[in-house]
């Protein structure tokens, strides 16, 4: 009996923190790693006009109105099997270790028709320590909405501009002699705030930021299907030029080594990519990786005709080369079909 009590004193009861760190990390991984990605924000624009059978707005509105709808179900689905209560544990050691596993090993995504503001809000909300843990972000990078630029360089809204109106980014130089007017990209200055926040991270690991392009869409290069019109696909180099400038300014030379690598990921027809490869490189893109994929055709040939083979596509990963020259804002869209108005 006495010996049993002595053994209990020499071998106290095992608890979670008495386990080796390697075992605790495996438990955190089982509890906190998503099978795909953690969707922080996803949503889309939805037209809110009500039309009758003849297509007339029942409220008498002459212009289309849109509202951004957030898909909270997608976010909830991406984390439904995760034990996120570990991130709120009142034990400081467990909470810190769990947060490190969660933020370091998951990919956090901002998808759909975001306007970059949700990324700023999230980065601020999770706090400086957790920002330092992040290693992977996926962000949809769509062609910005258009604003109208006057000859004097000022900008006004056009009917299909759904976002807030932003004037030309001060990092983009516009020649005083320029008198071009027309549609220009309306770029949210919150993008610079994102890189300023990421540049203040106290982290030793590089954060990989993947910017996800829409199919057949690449800034500076027209990747067109046969049924696509040119004016709808103009995506200038202003956005990638600004993002690369912000990356260099805020995250490439930080002493805390919280560096950010920006990759642009997209997909287009195989022959389009091959034909435009030299133009892509000429525009300052470095081709990091390409992978050929096959997509089944949805169209079924009529009887008596041989079935067509799959559609050959290329999934590409690009990196913007560092720009040493002054950034010059691109001219308005030459395919614009709108006239001047206030």
Task: Say if residue 337's pLDDT is above 80.
Answer: no
- pLDDT one-digit tens code per residue, 299-308: 777 787 777 7
Predicted pLDDT of residue 102: 97
Query: What confidence category does residue 9 fall into, taking pLDDT thresholds of 50, 70 and 90?
Result: low
Helices (H), ranges, 167-269 = 190-199, 238-251
Residue bearing tokens 């258009």 = 146
- pLDDT one-digit tens code per residue, 81-132: 999 999 999 899 999 999 999 999 999 999 999 999 999 999 999 999 999 9
Q: How many CA atoms lie within 13 A of 144 on its CB side?
A: 25
Domain for residue 303, yes or no?
no
Domain for residue 132, yes or no?
yes
For residues 13 and 167, the model is more confident at 167
What is the rounded distance in angstroms from the CA atom of residue 23 to the CA atom of residue 203?
A: 24
Query: What confidence category does residue 24 fall into, taking pLDDT thresholds of 50, 70 and 90?
Result: very high
Instruction: Pick the range with the lowest mean pLDDT from 17-26, 174-183, 312-321.
Output: 174-183
Query: What confidence category does residue 340 fall into, taking pLDDT thresholds of 50, 70 and 90?
Result: low
Query: What confidence category does residue 78 fall into, taking pLDDT thresholds of 50, 70 and 90?
Result: very high
Mean pLDDT of 228-255: 80
% of the chain exceeding 90 in pLDDT? 62
Q: What is the CA radius of gyration of the chain?
A: 25
What is the rounded distance in angstroms from the CA atom of residue 71 to the CA atom of residue 39?
A: 10
Query: What confidence category does residue 234 fall into, taking pLDDT thresholds of 50, 70 and 90?
Result: confident
Task: Say if residue 271's pLDDT is above 80.
Answer: yes
CA dist 137 → 68, 208, 264, 316 (Å) = 22, 6, 12, 18
Query: What confidence category does residue 237 fall into, taking pLDDT thresholds of 50, 70 and 90?
Result: very high
Predicted pLDDT of residue 333: 80
Query: What confidence category does residue 261 fall into, taking pLDDT thresholds of 50, 70 and 90?
Result: very high
Phi, psi of 5 (to 5 degrees): -65, -40
Contact 320, 240 (CB under 8 A): yes
What is the rounded distance in angstroms from the CA atom of residue 224 to the CA atom of residue 216?
A: 6
> Of the ranges 173-177, 284-288, 325-329, 338-342, which is most confident?
284-288
Mean pLDDT of 25-53: 92
Domain range for 20 is: 15-51+60-298+310-320
How high does pLDDT run on average in the chain? 88
Domain for residue 341, yes or no?
no
Domain for residue 176, yes or no?
yes
- The token pair that represents 13 in the structure block: 């009861």
Coil vs helix vs strand at 51: strand
Domain for residue 67, yes or no?
yes
Instruction: Pick the range with the lowest mean pLDDT from 66-70, 163-167, 202-206, 305-309.
Output: 305-309
What is the rounded distance in angstroms from the CA atom of residue 79 to the CA atom of residue 19?
A: 26
Other C-beta atoms lying within 10 Å of the C-beta of residue 300: 9
Decide: residue 66, CB within 10 A, 0-12 exposed, 13-18 middle, 19+ buried: middle
Domain for residue 202, yes or no?
yes
Domain for residue 338, yes or no?
no
Domain for residue 342, yes or no?
no
Helix (H) or strand (E) run with residue 182 in it: strand 182-185
Mean pLDDT of 238-254: 90
Predicted pLDDT of residue 227: 47
Contact 286, 319 (CB under 8 A): yes
First to last CA, the chain: 94
Query: What confidence category does residue 281 fall into, taking pLDDT thresholds of 50, 70 and 90?
Result: very high
- Structurally, the chain folds into a number of domains equal to 1
Predicted pLDDT of residue 316: 97
């Amino acid at each position: 009996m006495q010996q049993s009590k002595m053994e209990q004193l020499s071998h106290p009861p095992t608890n979670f923190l008495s386990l080796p760190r390697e075992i605790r990390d495996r438990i955190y991984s089982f509890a906190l790693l998503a099978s795909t990605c953690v969707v922080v924000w996803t949503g889309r624009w939805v037209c809110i006009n009500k039309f009758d059978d003849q297509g007339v707005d029942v409220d008498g509105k002459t212009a289309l109105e849109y509202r951004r709808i957030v898909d909270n179900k997608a976010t909830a689905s991406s984390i439904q099997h995760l034990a996120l209560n570990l991130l709120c544990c009142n034990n400081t050691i467990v909470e810190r270790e769990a947060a490190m596993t969660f933020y370091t090993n998951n990919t956090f995504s901002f998808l759909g028709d975001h306007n970059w503001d949700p990324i700023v809000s999230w980065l601020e909300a999770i706090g400086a320590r957790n920002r330092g843990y992040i290693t992977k972000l996926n962000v949809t990078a769509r062609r910005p909405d258009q604003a109208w630029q006057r000859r004097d360089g000022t900008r006004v809204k056009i009917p299909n501009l759904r976002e807030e109106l932003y004037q030309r980014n001060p990092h983009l130089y516009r020649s005083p002699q320029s008198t071009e007017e027309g549609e220009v990209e309306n770029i949210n200055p919150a993008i610079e705030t994102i890189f300023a926040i990421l540049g203040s991270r106290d982290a030793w690991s590089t954060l990989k930021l993947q910017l996800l392009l829409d199919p057949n869409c690449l800034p500076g290069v027209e990747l067109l299907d046969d049924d696509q019109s040119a004016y709808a696909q103009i995506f200038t180099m202003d956005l990638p030029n600004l993002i690369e400038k912000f990356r260099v300014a805020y995250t490439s030379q930080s002493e805390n080594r919280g560096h950010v690598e920006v990759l642009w990921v997209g997909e287009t027809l195989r022959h389009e990519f091959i034909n435009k490869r030299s133009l892509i490189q000429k525009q300052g893109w470095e081709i990091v990786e390409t992978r050929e994929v096959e997509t089944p055709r949805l169209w079924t040939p009529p009887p008596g005709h041989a079935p067509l083979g799959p559609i050959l596509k290329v999934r590409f990963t690009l990196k913007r080369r560092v720009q040493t020259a002054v950034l010059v804002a691109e001219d308005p869209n030459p395919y614009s079909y709108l006239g001047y108005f206030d």
